[in-house]
């Protein structure tokens, strides 16, 4: 299966600041990547679908101006949490779609906003 | 809107016992996935079920899919402690599209 990396694995930031999370497809070119959020003891919730070269498609209830997604190349998508608040603290997981068949998940990024 | 329900949500079982986790979904789909998640970690893919009647087995785990009943099962045989984790099913509405996850089943296998 595809190899996906995320950076950083953990980040702590102060309330009001912005933080960028990178998702990289290491062994193939991914035109589609997905961003999920997982709160403690909860399931994964899709935030947005990231398409290379076009605007991301956000799920209902996800603020596109707060969660900025850029998929500028076939191997990299970034998620920027702007003006972070403590309630944004969560586990953020990206996935890449391999040949339109299966999603492969990154190792996740744990964000803590103080 | 696609809904995916798992039960039970919590499962405590003894080593050596068998049990089944159920995953029901609300709309037509023939693509279902099972994942394992250990605490603090991301998802590990267990099974991909792509057609009605599909059955896959890996070690002590076996997954099946009945698209007519909109039901998938994950059967655990002779559980061991190493199987303790949270198990998620996820349904894909159409090929290459978004996944909708179940709530997860937190499995604890006791010695």
pLDDT for position A56: 93
Nearest to B99 among A32, A101, A103 (CB): A103
pLDDT for position B25: 96
Which chain A positions have a beta carbon within 8 Å of B35's beta carbon?
105
Residue of A nearest to B32 (CA): A102
Cβ distance of B42 and A49 shorter than 8 Å: no
Model confidence at B1, pLDDT cuts 50, 70, 90, reads: confident
Taking only the tens place, the pLDDT of each residue in B44-61 is 999 999 888 899 999 999
**Cα distance between residue B88 and residue B21, in whole Å:** 10
Nearest to B73 by CA among B59, B54, B45: B54
Q: Dig out the tokens for B16 from the structure.
A: 């050596």
Taking only the tens place, the pLDDT of each residue in A65-111 is 999 999 988 899 999 999 999 999 999 999 998 876 788 999 999 99
A95 with A36: CB under 8 angstroms? yes
Taking only the tens place, the pLDDT of each residue in B2-36 is 899 999 999 999 999 999 999 999 988 878 999 99
Cβ distance of B104 and A34 shorter than 8 Å: no
How many angstroms away from the CA of B58 is the closest CA of chain A? 17
């Amino acid at each position: 299966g595809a190899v996906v990396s995320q950076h950083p694995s953990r980040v702590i930031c102060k309330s009001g600041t912005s933080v960028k999370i990178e998702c990289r497809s290491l062994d193939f070119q991914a035109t589609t990547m997905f961003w999920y959020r997982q709160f403690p003891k909860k399931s994964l919730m899709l935030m947005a679908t990231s398409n290379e070269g076009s605007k991301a498609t956000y799920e209902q209830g996800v603020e596109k101006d707060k969660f900025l997604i850029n998929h500028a190349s076939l191997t990299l998508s970034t998620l920027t949490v702007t003006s972070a608040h403590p309630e944004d603290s969560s586990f953020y997981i990206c996935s890449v779609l391999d040949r339109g068949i299966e999603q492969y998940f990154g190792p996740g990024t744990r964000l803590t906003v103080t | 809107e696609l809904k995916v329900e798992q039960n039970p949500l919590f499962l405590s079982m003894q080593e050596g016992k068998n049990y089944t986790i159920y995953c029901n979904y609300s709309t037509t789909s023939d693509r279902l996935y099972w994942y394992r998640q250990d605490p603090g970690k991301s998802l590990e893919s267990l099974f991909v079920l792509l057609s009605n009647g599909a059955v896959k087995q890996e070690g002590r785990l076996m997954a099946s899919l009945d698209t007519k009943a909109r039901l998938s099962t994950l059967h655990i045989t002779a559980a061991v402690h190493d199987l303790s984790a949270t198990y998620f099913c996820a349904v894909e509405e159409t090929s290459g599209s978004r996944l909708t996850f179940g709530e997860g089943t937190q499995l604890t296998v006791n010695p």
